[in-house]
Amino acid sequence: MSSAPSHATGPSGTAHLPVTLPMLLEKQHLGQPLVMVTAYDYPSARAAEAAGVDLVLVGDSGAQTVLGYPSTVAVTTDELLMLARAVRRGLRSPFLVADLAFGSYEESDSQAVATAMRFVKEAGADAVKLERGNATSVARARAIVEAGIPVMGHVGLTPQTATSLGGYRAQGRTADDATRIAREALALQQAGCFSIVFEAIPAEVTEELMPLMQVPIIGIGAGPATDGQVLVFHDLLGIREGQGARFVQRYADIQRDMDHGVAAYASDVRERRYPAPEHTYSIDAEALASFRSELTQLR
């Protein structure tokens, strides 16, 4: 099988310049919403490129969306690197951020820096992302930044430690919990994170926090006050069963179309409707006669 090569273009069909950290900060200062989406392979990266999004995240959510794990905890660094390399091959313009897998950075600063460097050197990532704003994550973020690699933070619902948070549920719904999130976000900002994801926290909490934040804040289920938004590729396009989290807006229903398409193909094969004459190749009559003659000698 083969396919024609393609070139990076935006929504208008013209090539975009690569997005840089200064460009992201400029958009934030101008009040231009930042668009971020996850991607896990070459086709999803091409879709993100074509849409002209600002940032692409190779999220550890790929553990569930494309690798079939029950949670993000099981995915390994090598698996995420494989996904990140595929995404990198499909991107030209968006700023590429790669998630650090659970267990790949918590042990020590040196472990965190070594893991982050792998994503930059082996997958071409522009930055890495780590979860939580506790003392450990803040220290690791600072160490990675000091090593010269941009870091995106992540507070609120942090899927890698969802069990300790009581499951996949909104965070910051009590005064104490909201204060904890505020302290974590400020600590990550102080550690040098260039951006922070706010996930599944009340919109009112986000609104109160935004005046304290100097770096771009990307929301997912955190209301409209953030500097930008991110959604999981498979959630927004409906490449999954069920509706997903409350904050998900579905823009397509590709899972349904895939299921129907494969079922129709299977039915056509079983009923011998496919392949039809228009799907086959021909041979010159004289060549066919010669082939038949040669074939008789092989029997």
Q: Given this model, what pLDDT does residue 6 score?
A: 42
Closest CA to 208 of 165, 175, 248, 170: 175
Q: Given this model, what pLDDT does residue 158 score?
A: 87
pLDDT value at 224 more than 60: yes
152 - beta bridge partners? Answer: 129, 195
Q: How many CA atoms lie within 13 A of 265 on its CB side?
A: 6
Residue partners of 132: CB distance under 8 A and separation at least 6: 154, 155, 158, 160, 161, 184
Distance, CA of 214 to CA of 198 (rounded, Å)? 14
Q: Given this model, what pLDDT does residue 7 score?
A: 41
Domain 21-254 has CATH 3.30.70.940: no
pLDDT value at 109 more than 60: yes
The average pLDDT across 250-273 equals 96
Distance, CA of 180 to CA of 243 (rounded, Å)? 30
pTM listed for this prediction:
0.89
What are 9-20's pLDDT values in tens digits? 444 444 578 999
199 is catalytic: yes
Q: Given this model, what pLDDT does residue 72 score?
A: 92
Q: Tell me which of 245 and 283 has the higher pLDDT.
A: 283
Residue 22, preceding peptide bond in cis (omega within 30° of 0): no
The average pLDDT across 102-124 equals 97
Distance, CA of 148 to CA of 270 (rounded, Å)? 58
Closest CA to 196 of 220, 168, 224, 172: 220
* Domains of the chain, residue spans: 21-254
The average pLDDT across 35-62 equals 97
Pick the catalytic residue: 26, 199, 278, 294? 199
